[in-house]
Structure 1
Amino acid sequence: MLKKFQEALDKRKEASILRTLKPKSAGIDFYSNDYLGLAGNEELQAQLLQKVKGNPKLLSGSSGSRLISGNSNITDETEEYISEQHQYPAALLFSSGYNANLALFSTLPDRHDTIIVDEQIHRSVHDACRMSYARKLKFRHNDAEDLESILKKQTGSCFIAVESLYSMDGDLAPLQEIVALAKKYNATLIVDEAHAFGVFGYGLIEKYQLQNDVFATVMTYGKALGAHGAAILCDETVKSYLVNFASPFIYTTAAQDFLWMAIKTGYEFLKQKPELSEKLHQNIKIFRNQTIETPSSELSPIQAVLVPDNHQLRSLQKALFDHNFLTYAVYSPTVKVGTERLRICLHSFNTEKEIIELTGLIKAFL
């Protein structure tokens, strides 16, 4: 068995795509999901520290799952607060967006249902579908016509899974078109807002006021909020159903109260600092003005630069690293062969000088 594993690793090493764990590098950040800089914001850290000083028990372990000893008043208060902020009847907290998606798609659809996913949906949804008894179908990325052609052929109940902002291409889903299709074919729509939350206020569902049209929404807090964890926004009945039947919720130890407190404090901080989002969007405009060819939305903090060759992509990333720029290269087979890309993440704390220098190096290389 070990020999089989080693052979698979050796193949990856030979192809120069072996993943390894490395310490966090020093340099100019154009690769993290910390879009608003909250993960290192000293003012927010000071607020969190004061709350911990006032209640050191926040740092204690939860001691069990939420159905045994791991629930608390802080957990319940945070869920109520989140649901109110997003104008949903209920919210259910999870330790990560991955677990939230596992819970949704492994629990809600049954063996008679079909889950129709955008082909670029996050891996967590694909993994959840493997845990489900439902059938999974894919539609072409952001292609509402292809989605409708699939919906037309279905006879049973359907779930549609999309993201509002996709992390690989940095493009936006045609949410209003998909909402209209879900209504037309009586399908259940679930939207992952992991990369949109904080970048577009409370996300695109809130921006377009689609709460009554989206069955459940996933919010994650390890990106623009600079924290960790996630929440499923849904109806009270759906929340109760997940609490009763979702294995990823039932059989995991609850996070410590510090996490839930940090999430609620992060929401409050976002309200205090609207300029962070404004600065981020200014930086996105600066990047777009440099005329780098990209499939990404002009509004997205994620800007993909296609370099359709693993070796050339690796050389570009190294050249940028040598100039102190930290970027993330996405190689095949993580993405399809011929769609390898440099994934540039823009932040509120990046300077105009940094952005212009970065794009200048990319254009000179390409």
Structure 2
Amino acid sequence: MKLEKQLLGQLENRKINGGYRSLKQNVNNLIDFSSNDYLGLSKVEEIHHDHNEFIDNGATGSRLLSGNKAYHEAVENFLSEYFKSESALLFNSGYMANLGVLSSVPQKGDTILLDELSHICIKEGVRLSRANYFNFKHNDLQDLEKKLKKIEEGNIFVVVESVYSMDGDQAPLKEIVELSVQYNANIIVDEAHSTGLYGQSGYGLCCDLELQDQIFARIYTFGKAVGVHGAAVAGSNILKDYLINYSRQFIYTTALPHQSVQVIKNALNYREKHPELWGDLQSKITLFNSLLKNAINKLDSEHPVQGIILGGAAEASNFSKYLNDKGFDVRPILSPTVPKGKERVRICLHAFNSEEEITNLCHHINQYFQ
């Protein structure tokens, strides 16, 4: 078929450029340095067990049809307390939650300013809105203010991630809040890679910095450090009611089933009872950073996400294969996920990685670049 021939040509072109992707299982029992399961909660059996009676295998419909259950509302009440917000609304994933907020809340005549390194779900959500939108340079407060000064009408939205998934660095949230107050802007923060980590109970960076009351909307994802699935938007009661009425990603999606909803609560309760997990992981991040040679082109990060820049797709793929051959599950990150020339390997550290495993990994990284 003509179409399939065209698609095959595009796939072959991606192979030539070194950016071809394929699905892989960890069949060789490689040591996990690639998953987002930072605290290892996805494998804690205690979180899975639920002593409640069987309720259902599926919610049977969207929340506005037959799918709104008592367990959804109970966990949303729990989440609003956990994340110190007036309300919380469950979504099926962080991707859908970002699309749901950004495609429905900003209106024609409004302006969205988003960090240039924002996740693709933020960029696609912004494009689905009818608002004007502009990137500002990554974590650059001067560039953000320069663009804020130019906006003369409509609502203003500043969209950032609390921790960036490819670089592992934090947004300067306190300074962004100060600017937003000065220019009457509304802040939306994706907390995907800080949920479960920061704060005594893992309630994310906004709450850890006590900024939650100055943020218009916070998106929490449970598929990273929390180790389960799903997401929630935390904000005001008005925001929740608005999303229920106008977010297509919420309105037209079958609701999460009971098991998925219950393990969110179980996992967050487990994290709250085990603050030592984050402390242990922080010590392993320090160990990793101390063992790598200074000459290695590593991004500066105090987060489990550690990036080593190779500068090309082939180089990143070769380095990843070298580490795979040494027994470590490390994946290359290629364009267009990151800009051309910024291709890298993304190393994720975990609470369950032993000091010996981290030491061996660093030894082989140092050898490769020697």
Task: Tell me which interval the TM-score lies in, with the shorter structure as reference length.
Answer: over 0.9
Q: TM-score normalized by structure 1? A: 0.96
Q: Which residue of 2 aligns with 1:104?
A: 101
Partner-residue secondary structure (3-state), 2:213: coil
Partner-residue secondary structure (3-state), 2:212: coil
Inter-partner Cα distance in structure 2 for 1:134 and 1:4: 34
8 A Cα contact 2:136 2:143, kept in partner = yes
Out of 294, 303, 319, the position equivalent to 2:306 is 303
Out of 338, 341, 345, the position equivalent to 2:344 is 341
Q: Which residue of 2 aligns with 1:180?
A: 178
Amino acid at match of 2:277: L
How many Å apart are 1:196 and its aligned residue? 0.6
Amino acid at match of 2:292: T
Q: Which residue of 1 aligns with 2:168?
A: 170
How many Å apart are 1:244 and its aligned residue? 0.4
Partner-residue secondary structure (3-state), 1:106: helix
Indicate yes or no: 2:351 matched with 1:353: no
Q: Which of 265-274 and 231-240 deviates more?
A: 265-274
How many Å apart are 1:95 and its aligned residue? 0.6
Inter-partner Cα distance in structure 1 for 2:30 and 2:250: 38
Q: Which residue of 1 aligns with 2:324?
A: 321
8 A Cα contact 2:292 2:366, kept in partner = no
Instruction: List aligned pairs for 1:93-132, cutoff 5 A.
Output: 93-132=90-129
Q: TM-score normalized by structure 2? A: 0.95
Indicate yes or no: 2:238 matched with 1:237: yes
Q: Which residue of 2 aligns with 1:247?
A: 248
Instruction: List aligned pairs for 1:82-231, cutoff 5 A.
Output: 82-156=79-153, 157-200=155-198, 201-231=202-232
Partner-residue secondary structure (3-state), 2:219: strand
Inter-partner Cα distance in structure 2 for 1:124 and 1:31: 20
Amino acid at match of 1:364: Q
Indicate yes or no: 2:56 matched with 1:55: no
How many Å apart are 1:296 and its aligned residue? 2.9
Partner-residue secondary structure (3-state), 2:242: helix
Q: Which residue of 1 aligns with 2:64?
A: 67
Aligned Cα RMSD in Å?
A: 1.2
How many Å apart are 1:310 and its aligned residue? 1.8
Q: Which of 273-282 and 72-81 deviates more?
A: 273-282
Amino acid at match of 1:172: Q
Inter-partner Cα distance in structure 2 for 1:140 and 1:295: 17
Partner-residue secondary structure (3-state), 1:202: coil
Amino acid at match of 2:49: L
Q: Can you list the C-alpha shifts for 1:35-68, whole angstroms capped at 9, x where unaligned?
A: 0000112333xxx3243xx32224x111100001
8 A Cα contact 2:310 2:344, kept in partner = yes
8 A Cα contact 1:116 1:160, kept in partner = yes
How many Å apart are 1:132 and its aligned residue? 0.9
Partner-residue secondary structure (3-state), 1:57: coil
How many Å apart are 1:20 and its aligned residue? 1.3
Residues 231, 258 of structure 1: alpha-carbon distance in 2 compared, 3 angstrom cutoff? same
How many Å apart are 1:73 and its aligned residue? 0.8
Q: Which residue of 2 aligns with 1:32?
A: 35
How many Å apart are 1:226 and its aligned residue? 0.5
Amino acid at match of 2:191: E
Partner-residue secondary structure (3-state), 2:223: coil
Inter-partner Cα distance in structure 2 for 1:165 and 1:126: 16
Q: Which of 334-343 and 86-95 deviates more?
A: 334-343
Q: Can you list the C-alpha shifts for 1:245-275, whole angstroms capped at 9, x where unaligned?
A: 1100001111101111100111111122111
Inter-partner Cα distance in structure 2 for 1:79 and 1:296: 36
How many Å apart are 1:24 and its aligned residue? 3.3
Inter-partner Cα distance in structure 1 for 2:122 and 2:337: 15
How many Å apart are 1:2 and its aligned residue? 2.5
Inter-partner Cα distance in structure 1 for 2:299 and 2:327: 25
8 A Cα contact 2:157 2:188, kept in partner = yes
Instruction: Report percent identity of matched pairs.
Output: 42
Amino acid at match of 2:62: S
Q: Which residue of 2 aligns with 1:291?
A: 292
Q: What is the number of residues matched between the two proteins? A: 359
8 A Cα contact 1:296 1:302, kept in partner = no
Indicate yes or no: 2:9 matched with 1:11: no
Partner-residue secondary structure (3-state), 1:265: helix
Gaps of 5+ in 1: none
Inter-partner Cα distance in structure 1 for 2:219 and 2:146: 26
Partner-residue secondary structure (3-state), 1:217: strand
Partner-residue secondary structure (3-state), 1:284: helix
How many Å apart are 1:125 and its aligned residue? 0.9
